[in-house]
Structure 1
Amino acid sequence: MSSQPEVVVGEPKVRIDGRLKVTGKAPYAADHGHEHGIENMAYAAIVDATIGRGRITGIDTSAAEAHEGVLGVVSHENAPKLPYRENAGSNNLPGERIRVFQNDRVLFFGHPIAVVVAETLEAAQHGARLVEVTYDEESPTTDLEDGTPDEPTNYSRGDVEAAMADAPVRLDLTYNLSRNHHNPMEPHATIARWEGDKLTVWDKTQWVGDGTQVELAAVFGLAQDDVRVLSPYVGGAFGSGLRTWPNTVIAAVAARELDRPVKLVLARRQMYFNTGFRPAYRYQLTVGADRDGRLLATDHVVRAETSSYETFSEAVLSAGQMKYSTPNVRQDYRTVPLDVNTPIWMRGPGAATGDHVIETAMDELAYEVGIDPIELRRRNEPTEDESSGLPFSTRRLLECYDVGAREFGWSRRNPKPGSTRDGDWQVGIGMASALYHTSVAPARARVRLRIDGTALVESATSDMGPGTYTSMTQIAADALGLTLDDVDFRLGDSVMPATPPHGGSMTMASVGSAVQNGADKVRREAIDLAVNDTVSPLHGADPADIVVRRGRLQLRNDASRGETYRALMARNGRTRIQATGLFSPREEATKSAWAYGAVFAEVGVDAQLGLVRVRRMLGVYDAARIINPRLAESQALGGMVGGIGKALLEHTVTDHRDGRIVNANLADYLVPVNADVPDLKAIYLGGRDDYPDPIGVKGLGEVVICGVAPAIANAVFHATGRRVRDLPITIDSLL
């Protein structure tokens, strides 16, 4: 912990980049151009495969090439052979990633098979429609029920068979969870420019350094330093930017072949098969319990879709291993290869899926044994992480229940399903708990105190919406004793100090700790300079007694004795004081660190139409220290909105005859709009957790979507008495 006073950390400061964004002045990937030094830019459009599996037998580009403004067409027939070095980082997955234009294979409907480059976007798009492709078509397998599962990932403890045989209560449950797509406001976009053998890309990405930079270096056989990736603003991503998709490589290939900068922006339709998605799941759960509702055993059989060429998996099993005290657990998790593009992490990855199944099952068990759903969860509260045997760093889930029940009015709820009406509406109240692992990873940040007493802080992280610019500025400002206006925080450039990916709720804990460390180093060096300077008013003082306020070093208990950074540095001939802040996780875990939440939802279900409306929702979260309450609330409300979509609306529909995504647009793939979003409220318990990181935070961007869908599903049951185990909950399932 810093010895500095906490002035701006913990305050609900407005977003530093907010005005730029709402006035349209924040440059996203596709917004860069002449004013950013990009001259003579061409435009590209991808040609997508129109079959679900097979081989290309011919590509006729003559009509496209003859179209006015078209500069060229690149496909496997004329593309350069690329090295595609192995890249085992988290940017890639087990299997073999798509090798752009390197062969004639079609692996899924929409597989990128060519690119048209033109002087204008319109010419490129029209040219792409003029390319004629013939195929040797094969029948694709795209339905989870039809695929052949891979070898399992297994987990077990205790004797599940014996415990199930003796269990007085047994539930056999099957849940089907639909595929979800991220659908951020900003589509994936790349501008690529070559200068000799050096490549610069402006890209929509959540990982400029060890993600996009390293992957492009591997694809083109370059040194890492010969690739520069810039991504100063990201218009939402939700996990879709956590790896380098083919469109980024295609832009770089086109730019090199045409010898000029090329801009490539995916159409909304292409976002459904050129980037990843939350995979569909079939989750079978058997629960054994005693008549008092205490869990005796659980048996999990999980099937999840992946692509035929890569294996994507996520931590869907964690909730079933440690969320509630269960002496006997068995899990069988298998991916199912299909002729689809590869899934990817989506907000609350794994946990949102696991939480939905576990929390809906707990609600079913509560009604089966006649115990209040919150009381049932209390009876199964663990004293340690039973999957690892480690103690929890902090776990205030019971407090989340207490606060949420009080604030939401849980005690006024009639427990009988279908008992509450409001005119034609059946009204129900449900709840669910949430958890997400507190992830941390090595991170760096460069902190420079300048001669004018202001600071520049740089780190190669991202900001896709949580407010990284603002929260990091707050950390640096307090550690340096400056105002927010005196700190310039910059991010999104691969030449800056390396950070982990901007995902998994690890940015604040990891990068924030590096910023704190670097700022502390700079402040301490300035203090040492003062106490050793015979002219300084602080000469000979104990460094531990000195704090910095608004850029002035002074004694903690005697503000009259001190001087400014500016005066100190000028007198000592220093133009800067600079340090690199470092953060590294513990080498070995001694505690189990998680963020927690309790979500309460009230829904209305039209008794005649089956229409579901969420009427109000509350989330209470144990996410430890909150750097900026305004940003935290924004995260929670956004997570709740995403959870409403997952519960009631979002569903990718595939035509299994050819793998075509039927609703690949924002008119037919439904996401929540204003009319779907009710009164939402979030409460954070605050406090600190100093185990995972020195600034005392837990991640909060992921946990706030976990628990939302099951709370809604449980409320729908309470309203109607009808249990729907598939997501989304559609009108036809309630009629």
Structure 2
Amino acid sequence: MTAQPQRAVGTPVSRVDGRLKVTGHATYAAEHEIDGALHAVVVDGSVGAGRITAIDDRAALAHPGVRAVISHLNAPKLAYRESPNANNPEGTRLRVFQDDRIRFFGQAVAVVVADTLEAAQHAARLVEVRYNARQPATDLRSAPAGEPTTYARGDADTAFAGAAVKLDVTYDAARNHHNPMEPHATIARWDGDRLTVWDKTQWVGGTQRELAAVFGIPDNHVRVISPFVGGAFGSGLRAWPHVTIAAVAARHTGRPVKLVLARRQLYFGTGFRPCYGYRLRIGADRRGRLSAMIHDITAETSSYEKFVEAAMAPGQMLYSMPHVRQAYSSVPLDVNTPIWMRGPGYASASFAIESAVDELAHALKMDPIELRQRNEPAKDESTGLPFSTRRLRECYTVGAREFGWQHRNPAPRSTRDGDWLIGTGMATSVYDTARGAAQAYARLEANGAALVQSATSDMGPGTYTSMTQVAADALGLAMDTVRFELGDSLMPPTPPHGGSQTMASVGSAVLNACDKVRHQAVTLAVNDLRSPLHGADPADVIVRNGRMALKNDPARGESFRQLLSRNGRPHLEAIGGFAPPGQDRSSFYAYGAVFAEVAVDAQLGLVRLRRMLGVYDAGRIVSPKLADSQALGGMVGGIGSALLEHTVTDPRDGRIVNANLADYLVPVNADVPELRAIYLDGSDPQADPLGVKGIGEVVHVGVAPAIANAVFHATGKRIRSLPITAESLL
């Protein structure tokens, strides 16, 4: 069929759910009104490792309104079948209330269930737990690493030894926590042997499968509902223990149970971006041609699960060089299991790689952009595949022009503004174009309106809006006549809402479903003797505002409403799908160039970001306004990683000292200056039918090293640990 006019896609529309959110009518996990719901509060373990020797819950049970205290002493034995399709890492996941072991500080040791939240909170403080504690291992540098994952091409050690110019440097990145506005929350209700949960999750399908595995029931006996997610950044990509605890408490009491984690509990009750140690050795000739890179990476994981993220990928494909060797070692510690956080792996690796490339440029007395340009690969040297699109040179050129890079004095500590040292820096951004199998349902009603459904999520990027745009254009309808629904495991399945794959995967499924419905309508019309379109070639028919007409004869046509009414059809419907090819013939990535200007107080070492620009090769931009929201948010997150965010752990007991938003610093308005994003026109038709490459992650990657490089340019002092603090600059 002929291509549809694109009236919604590419237009900077406002969020279709915006009014619901700003008026408080969007219903988040803890806000669903479930009749008869009790309240649950988790009792956290107060040692970092060891065993529980006794639990005294008598005072808690005696408190008015308390219905139950559940711990390993009285909890049911749960099935805990393997659940490989629920985003659980390799290892043995934490089994709620199944034994007396303490694996990390804050681990749930009991739950109090009461008529009111206040009663549950007070009673939780009355539960006395005694332990046989041992010293926890919490330091990445002092604990033994596991068997590394390795990669090699060429002979990196020999090439490095013979290089004319060498760097051997180590970078450290602190642990980061997601800190979304909405805390994690679950409401659980049993109806016989069927479980319904209202949950904050980025993957209703994964949570459904995990709960079914935990309780030993069929997948279709679990329903997960999650229409709105108040931010997550990756923290909702698996079902954490509190989800199971809510379901256990609901089954124990025979009543629905609501469980909301306190802000403090998010720091150990859900995952986090792991801390990294990253030694990098680079060899190059005196013209700046890279010959070798040797990467030795260590990252924390828990003692019971091996969490690994894609920190090795950038070092394999970002720059051209014949010799590469990598070793990624997970270090088991007495901590909760980490989880993906915006730009996972790539953001941590880019800080090391992009800082080191900047250091090399300084050693060679070469412009940092020129050095990168000289090492642009012609293909993906890790796979031998051609890049589907790779427009990094254009990102550099556009970014340099728009940022005013040509006015930069390259000498460090050469520019001042009163007491402030001024510096500019840049870094390359890259992220994998992930895609997964997805389905969507589309229904065209007799009144000309449409309903589209898919079991994806919306944690903030605007899924409701972008899918409505795609559906509206594919059906030939105005956006206000299309309703998109998501966040229910009864809907057609999708991959996790993370890794920048939702637009490519779910969007392509929505496009396919709506194309099928439109094709049904056009086929019905051209075969209907009473239709003005009877006998026409379906390929010549396009739809605008719900009216089918010949592309070259717009007067000849009719509306969906007329067609369905005349034929007595209450609706037309279809299931659409998308599946990425089993084997890619190209290498798919989104790219960017990030530019930053900082001011550093020469006396106090305070760092203030003054402006930032990102230029992105991210394929087709479905919704420019949403893309800006993603880009600016990603930059803000990068500011946090670069200058503010880090976890402080008490080595004596594993307690997170700054488990609150007063002491764990995140960027606020005063920390965020002028931010600007530019998107190169174009699409990537090889990646998916929409031509998108994903934008949610790439806009975070590269921000921290751009800031770090600007700090070096301002001060002449290279800081190799994140966050960059005033103390490190004094």
Q: TM-score band (shorter)? A: over 0.9
Pairwise mapping of residues 243-642 of structure 1 onto structure 2 (< 5 A)?
Answer: 243-642=238-637
C-alpha change, 1:400 and 1:701, in structure 2 (3 Å) is same
Alignment partners' CA distance in 2, 1:283 and 1:104: 36
Q: Structure 1: which amino acid aligns with 2:108?
A: P
Structure 1 position 697, deviation (Å): 0.5
Alignment partners' CA distance in 1, 2:160 and 2:583: 35
Structure 1 position 146, deviation (Å): 1.6
The residue number in structure 2 matching 1:174 is 170
Any conservation in 1 of the 2:613–2:677 contact (CA below 8 Å)?
yes
1:660 is paired with a residue of what secondary structure? coil
Any conservation in 2 of the 1:2–1:479 contact (CA below 8 Å)?
no
Pairwise mapping of residues 111-190 of structure 1 onto structure 2 (< 5 A)?
Answer: 111-190=107-186
Q: Structure 2: which amino acid aligns with 1:145?
A: R
Q: Structure 1: which amino acid aligns with 2:339?
A: I
Any conservation in 2 of the 1:429–1:603 contact (CA below 8 Å)?
yes
Q: Structure 2: which amino acid aligns with 1:701?
A: G
Tell me the TM-score normalised to structure 1 length: 0.99
Structure 1 position 439, deviation (Å): 0.4
1:654 is paired with a residue of what secondary structure? coil
Alignment partners' CA distance in 1, 2:45 and 2:142: 22
Any conservation in 2 of the 1:456–1:489 contact (CA below 8 Å)?
yes
Any conservation in 1 of the 2:86–2:209 contact (CA below 8 Å)?
no
C-alpha change, 1:113 and 1:2, in structure 2 (3 Å) is farther
Q: Aligned pair count? A: 730
Q: Structure 2: which amino acid aligns with 1:134?
A: R
Q: Structure 2: which amino acid aligns with 1:13?
A: V
Matched, 1:715 2:729: no
Q: Structure 2: which amino acid aligns with 1:601?
A: A
Structure 1 position 387, deviation (Å): 0.3
Pairwise mapping of residues 21-40 of structure 1 onto structure 2 (< 5 A)?
Answer: 21-33=21-33, 38-40=34-36
Alignment partners' CA distance in 2, 1:388 and 1:676: 41
1:655 is paired with a residue of what secondary structure? coil
Any conservation in 1 of the 2:48–2:102 contact (CA below 8 Å)?
yes
1:661 is paired with a residue of what secondary structure? coil
Alignment partners' CA distance in 2, 1:182 and 1:162: 41
Aligned-pair identity in percent equals 68
1:362 is paired with a residue of what secondary structure? helix
Q: Structure 1: which amino acid aligns with 2:17?
A: D
Q: Structure 2: which amino acid aligns with 1:124?
A: A
What are the superposed Cα offsets for residues 67-111 of structure 1, whole Å, 9 maximum, x if unpaired?
111111000000011111111124211110011001000000001
Any conservation in 1 of the 2:153–2:325 contact (CA below 8 Å)?
yes
Any conservation in 1 of the 2:2–2:539 contact (CA below 8 Å)?
no
Structure 1 position 372, deviation (Å): 0.2
Structure 1 position 2, deviation (Å): 6.5
> Which aligned segments of 4 or more residues in structure 1 are displaced greater than 2 angstroms?
none
What are the superposed Cα offsets for residues 303-342 of structure 1, whole Å, 9 maximum, x if unpaired?
1000000000000011111100011000011100000000
Any conservation in 1 of the 2:343–2:697 contact (CA below 8 Å)?
yes
Residue ranges of structure 1 left out of the alignment (5+ in a row): none
Alignment partners' CA distance in 1, 2:426 and 2:349: 16
Structure 1 position 415, deviation (Å): 0.4
Query: Which deviates more, 595-604 or 570-579?
Result: 570-579
What are the superposed Cα offsets for residues 626-684 of structure 1, whole Å, 9 maximum, x if unpaired?
00000000000000000000000000110111100000000000000000000000000
Any conservation in 1 of the 2:311–2:348 contact (CA below 8 Å)?
yes
> Of residues 51, 69, 89 in structure 1, which corresponds to 2:47?
51
Matched, 1:88 2:76: no
What are the superposed Cα offsets for residues 427-453 of structure 1, whole Å, 9 maximum, x if unpaired?
000000100000000000000001111
Q: Structure 2: which amino acid aligns with 1:183?
A: N
Any conservation in 2 of the 1:2–1:520 contact (CA below 8 Å)?
no
Any conservation in 2 of the 1:311–1:337 contact (CA below 8 Å)?
yes
> Of residues 649, 663, 668 in structure 1, which corresponds to 2:663?
668
Q: Structure 2: which amino acid aligns with 1:569?
A: L
Pairwise mapping of residues 175-214 of structure 1 onto structure 2 (< 5 A)?
Answer: 175-209=171-205, 211-214=206-209
C-alpha change, 1:431 and 1:94, in structure 2 (3 Å) is same
Q: Structure 2: which amino acid aligns with 1:12?
A: P
Alignment partners' CA distance in 1, 2:398 and 2:2: 31
Any conservation in 2 of the 1:434–1:597 contact (CA below 8 Å)?
yes
Any conservation in 1 of the 2:446–2:571 contact (CA below 8 Å)?
yes
What are the superposed Cα offsets for residues 36-89 of structure 1, whole Å, 9 maximum, x if unpaired?
xx2111000000000000000100000000111111100000001111111112
Q: Structure 2: which amino acid aligns with 1:484?
A: M
1:378 is paired with a residue of what secondary structure? helix
Alignment partners' CA distance in 2, 1:228 and 1:2: 39
Any conservation in 1 of the 2:470–2:507 contact (CA below 8 Å)?
yes
Residue ranges of structure 2 left out of the alignment (5+ in a row): none
2:246 is paired with a residue of what secondary structure? helix
Q: Structure 1: which amino acid aligns with 2:689?
A: P
Q: Structure 2: which amino acid aligns with 1:179?
A: R
Any conservation in 2 of the 1:157–1:329 contact (CA below 8 Å)?
yes
Structure 1 position 686, deviation (Å): 2.2
Any conservation in 1 of the 2:598–2:710 contact (CA below 8 Å)?
yes
> Of residues 94, 99, 103 in structure 1, which corresponds to 2:95?
99
Matched, 1:8 2:8: yes
Alignment partners' CA distance in 2, 1:675 and 1:378: 35
Q: Structure 1: which amino acid aligns with 2:26?
A: A
Structure 1 position 161, deviation (Å): 1.9
Alignment partners' CA distance in 1, 2:388 and 2:86: 27
C-alpha change, 1:680 and 1:25, in structure 2 (3 Å) is same
Alignment partners' CA distance in 1, 2:140 and 2:184: 27
Alignment partners' CA distance in 1, 2:480 and 2:296: 54
Any conservation in 2 of the 1:297–1:328 contact (CA below 8 Å)?
yes
Alignment partners' CA distance in 1, 2:157 and 2:39: 61
Alignment partners' CA distance in 2, 1:195 and 1:680: 50
Structure 1 position 293, deviation (Å): 1.0
The residue number in structure 2 matching 1:109 is 105
Alignment partners' CA distance in 2, 1:181 and 1:653: 11
Structure 1 position 152, deviation (Å): 0.9
The residue number in structure 1 matching 2:62 is 66
2:90 is paired with a residue of what secondary structure? coil
